[in-house]
Chains A and B, each alone.
Chain A
Amino acid sequence: MDFEAVFRRLYPTLFRYLQRLTGDADWAEDVAQESFVRLLRQRLPEAEARPWLFTVATNLVRDGVRKTTRRQRLLASAGPPASSIPGPEEERERRAEIAAVRAALEGLAPRDRQMLLMREEGFKYAEIARATGVAPGSVGTLVARALRRFAEAYRSQRASDVRTAAQDTAFSAKQG
């Protein structure tokens, strides 16, 4: 197998999955890279490499594995360049969006979260069933229930954001 080609195809999907699973892009990168290092020793065909990587990566997250290099903060360096800092409105909206997604995902059981996120990366029910250890026939039902739970939690979180923002606006209007 051409490892580099496989890496280029699978790294972005694995990274996205892990970022969504953990809510931590640095950790997602560490785990994705560690999973590929382990894949190198496996010599699997690509079709098998994909579910294998996701399973290994999910286990690494569950076990709390982090790469030590993350803590190698040898030298302090400057913060992000000024041009990449979004305006306060944009920043507030983005933070609210991320918080709502995190809260909704974290309200799910770990198995349900894994199912939804694997489904987002295009896995078939049979693969999801193998990775999560549920019966293939129950994947549809479990996915449907997890989806509804996610959507409900997300919507209510966003609705309360809107109420808070409206209260803030009313408050500052009264002040002014």
Chain B
Amino acid sequence: MRAFDYRAPTTLTEVLALLAQAKGEVRPLVGGTDLIPQLREGRKRPALVLDLKRIPDLGRLEYDPDMGLRIGAAVTCSAVAAHPQVRRHYAALAQAAALVGSRAIQNRASIGGNICNASPSADTVPPLLCLSARAFVAGGRGQREVELERFFQGPGKTILAKDELLVEVVVPPPAKRSASCYLRFTPRAEMDIAVAGVAALIVLDGGRQCQEARLALAAVAPRPLRVPTAEAALKGRALDAQALEEAGELAAQAAQPITDIRGGAEYRRRLVRVLTRQALEQCLAALQAGQR
């Protein structure tokens, strides 16, 4: 590991000043579950590691029926997975947070780190895309707000400039009669990285008719992927077996998987088809069970 300076400021103003003044590369640090192995292997060589965990605002996780959910950049997967309102109103996100690594990992790993590490297999991202999350970014030129969908540029690449950091993620309030679900396939039930993952969200009208649907995929493209074709095909339809099957087919077509150590491209496509159907089924089941 190359030598680096370590600072743990207590205000965002201080962080931004340090980012602006920095000579070499600066790496924000939250849980370190991605960053510390990267430092050890020399894949990241910052001059300064900037710990964000001592900034009280970034640790805030708040739900308000009118404003929705605010997830500070330093909020852990454990906190999100255990939060009663997240579990109730944003089930896909709670499910994904509970899948990241192990309990000990979740106690450190942040949602913000999962996002900023920009791995195509990041589990919490597809749910956030389905939930229409927005990212709040701060930097030398002030604040900006982007749809989370536009945050990713490729494996490990985000829109963040050198002097910018993610401050929080905001999710709008859940629609009435909506449900969401995240499913991933891994050879091992826990402690594994997705071969493929699918998040689904549906909003129903009075009956079984689909008012809106959103689908997002993990680990089958260079970045987390929405599936507008399948979403459009579901909109306005009765969500019967055939509709779900077609959505699965469209999602499989939209996937751009590669063959690697975790699975072949064709296998991943098939997983997407099955997981899409199952995720939609689970959304329907949750709505029928009156969870929302």
Do A and B belong to a common assembly?
Answer: no
Using a CB–CB cutoff of 8 Å, the interface residues on chain A facing chain B are none
